[in-house]
Amino acid sequence: MRKKIQTLTQIVSLFLLAGLFSCKQGGETRNDKRYEFSNIINICYTPNDTARCTGWFTDAGSWMGFTIPQKENWVNGFCGPFSLDMNRRQWMAKAAVVVGYADFPDLMFIPDSTSYFPGELYLSSSSPEGIITQSLHFVDSTTALLSIENSSNHVLSFTADKWGKDIRIQNEHNTVIASHTSGESVILTFPADVNVALESNNYLAVSKSTDKNTLVAISFATTTQDVLAVRQNSSSILRNYKELLVKNSERWNGYLNKVLREDMKAEYDRIAVKSVVTLISNWRMHRGGLLHDGIVPSHAVGYFVGFWAWDSWRFSAALAKFEPELAKSNIRAMFDYQQPDGMVIDCIYTDPSENNARDSKPPLICWAVDEIFTHNNDTAFITEMYPQLLSYYKWWYKKRDHDSNGFCEFGSTDGTVEAAAWESGMDNAIRFDNAKMLKNKGYDDAWSFDQESVDLNAYLALECKLLKKFATIIGIEFDGPDYSNQVSDYFFDTENKFFFDRRISDGSFVTDFGCEAYTPLWTGVAKPEQVELMMPTLLDSTKFSTYIPFPTVAADNPKYNPKGYWRGPIWLDQTYFAIKGLRNYGYSELADNYTIQVFERLKGLKEDAPIHENYGTHTGELLKAPHFSWSSSHLLMMYDEYGRE
């Protein structure tokens, strides 16, 4: 019990040091809400040659990340930084700053407690000579500030544990520069009362005083040209650390206060906070071909370190409530590469040669812009974006309507089925198993599937509705095509009582019961009587009302595969579309019950597991990429809408 009290005292004293745990403002105490959510995600990992790390602590758009050392493989400092670029993915160091006592270089420290709070890492360790506590906060996109408290009168020492391959160490005064051949560099800036010396391509820094509190700026430069500016910024950070730590606290309190509700269970609050943490950990500052800041799908998986179109629309819709400027930036990043014909390409990267312009992605962009307007009344952003939004909307009817009947198809610029499936966002969906490509007249870069998709046309109907709204707001006339009032009847199969794609050749339905049918309910284009006819199928536990509700394809389909990407597992965007769709048509209690199933049954969601790309329909098991942004976005939406009519 004594040790628990001692550890709690250490935590409180460290937070008081940073001015974060409580601070007096006008005679009243303001608590930092982040400390209600300890160990929000498990990112404990000590770099080694046998295991793979599956997530880092990163914030403020930084391209570097850190982990908490594993207690069974302890390092007395945070592990990293790790380079989060798609093409590099390297540990710059096992631990760039390991803290100890100068007079006891071989002293072993035993871990007492560690935690990942929203926007902060914390660890405490003890030895026979004293206790050291450390916390790490990102104060901007290039620098994380390490705050250290020493319980003893011993002088602190600092060194690195195992620099990465091809890294060369230099120092100048109280600064250490660890440069990689790629041009990326780690810059360690110590206070003026710390002596720094080099030895064997490493450094040893020793404090001149026995001050209880010490700070180290850990900075990251993505190019050699940035090193000088980053160094100057780091020195400024050490001078102004109190103000910067308060700003970090205010930023995270702002996020949480804008998102959290007062009427939700604590474990559901935790889901919302974990979703926010996931989105912000996937924030990347503009770099190279990414001309604006934005959100990547998952920082934990190298191939997901870029911006995708419909992913970005989802992220921006979720960010609109608590980080609207980032939401707008993410949208601008995708439109930086809008083609002359209006097309918004599939995905973009720091290296533009990697960009994919073979296809687009489903059009949910006006929804995202409308969410920004709803939460922030930002008419200037609507005025800025409207011409580009309208051009993209018209592009679908110009280059993805094979027979010019007003109903569009997914397709590609290169005529391949692969790229057309990517354009749907449902890469290997069962409904496209027999699809073929058709060349669209008058264009060399326009091909369509030979089937018109219900979800695409339902999305376009919502885009049309919102474009009309935007046009009214900014005082101009909408001049785009409008087939929105025809979508529900055209794609509803009265025999099977469900929405399906239709073949261009004969108008027949592609009768694979799938998640694309949720979209007319979410967009509101379905007729109430059609939804009523769908209900027995939606409520059938052998089809869609599964353990985790609303899979990507009916669970009794012979081709259903529980781990088959878009051929069976749960994707939370589609589950959200179904739940919100039910709410749209008055089935609010049912929508709430399904939301509870999601919150209660997804493995690790209420605990410390990261949020994943998709989940097992019948088990809730974790599938595919961890730290996944669009799952987080839709969990936030479910949380916000639960219990509301």
**Closest by Cα among 340, 467, 349, 484 to 406:** 484
**What pLDDT does 88 receive?**
85
Q: Longest C-alpha distance within the chain, in Å?
A: 84
Model confidence over 22-58: pLDDT tens digits? 333 333 334 799 999 999 999 999 998 667 899 999 9
* pLDDT tens, residue by residue, 152-195: 999 999 999 999 999 999 999 899 999 999 999 999 999 999 99
Measure Cα distances from 22 to 32, 238, 291, 564 in Å.
7, 21, 38, 49
Q: Which helix (H) or strand (E) holds 246?
A: helix 241-259
If we measure between CA atoms, which residue out of 372, 383, 299 comes closest to residue 329?
372
| Helix intervals (H) in 302-437 | 309-319, 324-335, 365-376, 379-399, 417-424
The per-residue pLDDT for range 547-593, each reduced to its tens digit, is 999 999 999 999 999 999 999 999 999 999 999 999 999 999 999 99
634 contacts 622 by C-beta, under 8 angstroms: no
Bridge partners of residue 157, in order along the sequence? 100, 206
CA neighbor of 488 nearest in space, from 474, 502, 476: 502
Tokens of 459: 């999305």
pTM: 0.95
Q: How confident is the model at residue 363 (pLDDT cuts 50, 70, 90)?
A: very high
What the block records as the tokens of 107 is: 């002293």
Question: How many C-alpha atoms does 614 have within 13 Å on its Cβ side?
Answer: 19
Phi-psi region of 15 (alpha: psi -120 to 50; beta: other; left: phi over 0): alpha
The pLDDT score that the predictor gives to residue 50 is 67
Which stretches within 400-542 are classed as H helix?
417-424, 454-474, 487-491, 519-523, 528-538
**What is the structure's pLDDT at 51?**
73
pLDDT in tens, 309-325: 999 999 999 999 999 99
Please determine, for residue 4, whether its predicted confidence score (pLDDT) is greater than 80: no
What is the overall mean pLDDT for the chain?
94
pLDDT of residue 414 exceeding 70: yes
* pLDDT tens sequence across 185-236: 999 999 999 999 998 999 999 998 888 899 999 999 999 999 999 999 999 9
CATH (one of 3.40.50.300, 1.50.10.10, 3.40.50.10140, 3.30.70.1230) for 266-641: 1.50.10.10
Higher pLDDT, 7 or 107: 107
Residues 123-141 have a mean pLDDT of 97
Give the model's pLDDT for residue 6. 40
Higher pLDDT: 173 or 632? It is 632
Q: Does domain 34-237 have CATH number 2.70.98.50?
A: yes
Q: Is 173 left (phi over 0), alpha (psi -120 to 50) or beta?
A: left
Given a cut of 90, is residue 631 above it in pLDDT?
A: yes
Q: What is the pLDDT of residue 212?
A: 87
Q: Where in the chain is the domain with CATH 1.50.10.10?
A: 266-641
Of the pLDDT bands very low, low, confident and very high (cuts 50, 70, 90), residue 456 is very high
pLDDT of residue 49: 67
Closest CA to 78 of 51, 41, 108, 115: 115
CA-closest candidate to residue 238, choices 178, 325, 148: 148
Angle at 563 between CA 562 and CA 565, to 5 degrees: 115
- pLDDT beyond 80 at 12: no
Portions of the chain given CATH number 2.70.98.50:
34-237
What's the pLDDT band for 501 if we cut at 50, 70, 90?
A: very high
φ/ψ bin of 425: left (φ > 0), alpha (ψ from -120 to 50), beta (otherwise):
left
H or E segment and range at residue 274: helix 266-281
430, pLDDT greater than 90: yes
